[in-house]
Chain A
Amino acid sequence: MSAITSVFQPGRKALIAYVTAGYPDAKATVKIAAALAEGGCDIIELGIPFSDPMADGATIQKASYQALQKGITPEVCLKIAATIRETITTPMVFMTYYNPILNYGLEAFCQSCVKAGVDGLIVPDLPPEEGLELEKVTHKNNLDLIYLLAPTSTNERISTVAARSRGFIYLVSLTGVTGARNSLSPELKGFVKRVRAKTDLPLCVGFGISKIEHAMETAALADGVIIGSKLIELIEQDESLTTLKSFITSVRQALNTQKKTGEV
C-alpha cells in the first residue's frame, strides 16, 4: 500500500488541496503546506509551474506565470517539497505538464521526487497512450502515476485508466479547464457512476470545486475531493493564510459528517 492509497480509509473522505509551488513565493508555499496539513488535508498537490498550462484556467495560469517570473524551476519545487517533508507527513504529489519532466529526464526526476518525499505524479497532458515510459519509471521508484478521466471518456478508456492508474483516479468533474465555478456540473453524477462500475480504485474529483456545498455533494459520490483554484484565490486575498486555513478546516469538518466511502 502506498502512502497515497493508505489515505483512503472507510468512513473518511479524502481532501486533496492543490497549490502552485512557488506562488506567491517558495517560502510561502512551505507555510501554505503546513496550514493545509493542519487544516486536515489528506494529500497535498504541488503544481510545478509550466509556461504553457493548456488544461488550466485563468487563476492557475496567473499563479504559474508569476511563479515562473520569480525563477521557480522544477529544481526549486523539489527543494520546496523536501522542506515541507521535514515537518509534515501528509502525502504529496506533483502536478505538472510533461515537458518539464521530459526535460529533467524521467529517471532523474522520479529519483529526485522520491528523495524529496513526493509520493506521486499527476500529468494532465499525458494520457495512458503516451504514459508507458513514465509509468515504468514511476513504478520502479515506487511513485504513483495518477491518470485522469473526464466526462467525455469512453467506457473503453475508463477500463484502460482503471487498469493503469495508481493511488487513485483523478476525475475531471466537467468538460473544461481548471477554475472555480458557481455550481457543479450536472454530468458529474452519471460520470462517477460510470467509472465506479468499472473499478474499486479510489475516485477523487477535481476541477471547479470551490464551495463547501460542492465538496459535500462531490463527497457523496466519490472518495475524495480536490480543490485548487479556489485555494489560490484565498491565498491571494489573505497572505496571512488565516482565510485559507479556516476554509480548509470547514471543508474538512463538513466532509467528516459524510457517511462511509462509496455510499451513493
Chain B
Amino acid sequence: MKLYIAKRLLLLLPLLTGITLITFLLTKALPGDPVYGLVGERSSPEIIEKIRKEMGADKGIIRQYAGYVSLLAGGELGRSYYTNRKVSEDILDKFPNTLRLAIGAMILSVPAGIALGLLSALRKDSVTDRLISGVTISFLSVPVFWSGLILMLIASLWLRLVPPSGTGDIRYMILPCVTLALPSLATVARVTRAGVLGVYRMPYVRTARAKGLTKARITALHITRNALIPVITIIGLDFAGYLNGAVLTETIFGWDGIGRFTMEGIMKRDYPVIMGCIITGTTVFVLVNIIMDIAYHVVDPRVRLHAKDR
C-alpha cells in the first residue's frame, strides 16, 4: 500500500505541471486585465504600462509561465496583485475554514444519507420509501442560494437561533453546513438505496438468509458493507468538491473560505490567486482520491492497492 501511495503522490508532479500550464494559458486567454482593477477610474496609460511591467505582463506568455514555475520551484505561490499579500498565507488562513465546513457538512450528510437510503431500500415501495424519495429529490433540485437564504430566514430571523453570517465557532457553521449537507445527503441516500437494492438480490445474501442469520446482521454485515463502494465514491467527490470551496454557500453566509477567495480571484483576474487556488485544489483532489482508494480497500478487501496492479 505504501508503494501505491508513493506512486500516486509522485504522479501528482506531472499532473500539477499539466494543470498549471493549462490554467495559466486559460486565464491568460480570458478577456479582462487585472491592471484595470488596480488603477481605478482615471489613470494615465504610463501608469498602466508601468504596473503591467511590474506584474510581468509585458513579457511573452512562455516567459511568464517559466517565471511562475520558477516561483513554484522556490516554494512560493506569489503575491496577490490587489492585496499584495502572499497567496500561500491567504490559502493557509482560509483552508482550515473550508475544511471545517466540509467536515461539518459530511458529518451531517453521510450518516443521515446512509440511514435514509437504507431505510428507503429496506422498505421499498412503501410510504416511507416514497416520502424519502420525494424529500431527497427536492434536496437535490433546490439550488443552494435559495435553500441557504430560506434556512437563514427561518433559523436566524424567525427562530433567532444562529447568526446569519460570519466566520467563527460552531454557531456560524450550522447554517452553511446544513445548506451544503442537503444535496449531499440526498445523493448519498439515493446511491445507498440503489446499492442496497442491487446487493439485496445477490446469491450470498440469500445464502446468509438460508443460514438463519438475523435480518439486522444480514443488513449490517452483508448488504451495507457491499453496497457502500459507490457511496464512498460519492462521498469522496463531494468532500473534495467542498474542500475546493463552495462559492455560493460561502458568499451567502459570509464564510471566509477557499471558494470565495477563488471566485474573487477569478473576477478580478488576480492570476497568482487563481493559480494558487487551482494548485491547492488539484492537490486536495488527488489526496482525497488516495484516501478514498484506501477506503475502498478497507470496505472491500477484493480491491487491491498494490502499485503493480495499477
Q: Do A and B actually bind?
A: no
Residues of B within 8 A of A (CB): none
Chain A residues engaging chain B, CB cutoff 8 angstroms: none
